[in-house]
């Protein structure tokens, strides 16, 4: 694609731009900023709707007492037990166990701080979930 042909459709990222490769007038590849591209914007919008629906489902299970708040924070940050275990230096089975409300209530303060640091929240915020549903489109 030539530099002048790089799409500049209204993007999902607001003032942020994505970087693409394009060919300049001399035939060399260069990096060019793009505001967005309609097909990519549609695909990203659909993906975010799916993620928000998944977070909503997990939040409902946490409120029903079937999962711990850890499961909500994992879903919100698009993490699974394998990924979180890697960041927390734990075994997968330990993270899965902490997704159960009873086991999560018994975690040590040091482990709560470790999880909270990964999610960039306080240990107090880790132990609870929002009282109302987060607004759509917040990531």
* Chain mean pLDDT for the chain: 87
Model confidence pLDDT, tens digit, residues 104-131? 999 999 999 999 999 999 999 999 988 8
Model confidence pLDDT, tens digit, residues 79-101? 999 999 999 999 999 999 999 99
Domain ranges of the chain: 3-36, 66-126
pLDDT confidence bin for 37, thresholds 50/70/90: confident
C-beta separation of 36 from 11 below 8 A: yes
Measured N-to-C along each axis, helices 69-76 and 109-119 cross at an angle, to the nearest 10 degrees, of: 20
Alpha carbon distances (Å) from 88 to 37, 114, 119, 132: 37, 7, 11, 28
CATH level 3 topology of 66-126: 434 Repressor (Amino-terminal Domain) (1.10.260)
Lowest mean pLDDT among 6-10, 30-34, 92-96, 100-104: 6-10
Does residue 7 or residue 100 have the better pLDDT? Answer: 100
Q: Is the pLDDT of residue 56 over 70?
A: yes
Q: Determine the 3-state secondary structure of 60 from DSSP.
A: helix
């Amino acid at each position: 694609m030539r530099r002048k042909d790089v799409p500049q459709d209204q993007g999902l990222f607001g003032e942020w731009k994505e970087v693409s490769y394009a060919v300049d007038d001399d035939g060399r590849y260069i990096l060019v900023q793009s505001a967005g591209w309609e097909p990519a914007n549609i695909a990203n919008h659909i993906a975010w709707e799916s993620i928000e629906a998944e977070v909503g489902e997990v939040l409902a299970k946490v409120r029903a007492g079937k999962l711990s708040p850890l499961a909500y924070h994992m879903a919100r940050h698009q993490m699974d037990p394998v990924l979180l275990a890697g960041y927390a230096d734990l075994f997968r089975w330990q993270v899965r166990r902490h997704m159960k409300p009873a086991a999560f209530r018994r975690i040590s303060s040091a482990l709560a701080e470790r999880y909270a640091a990964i999610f960039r929240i306080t240990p107090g915020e880790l132990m609870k979930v929002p009282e109302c549903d987060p607004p759509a489109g917040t990531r």
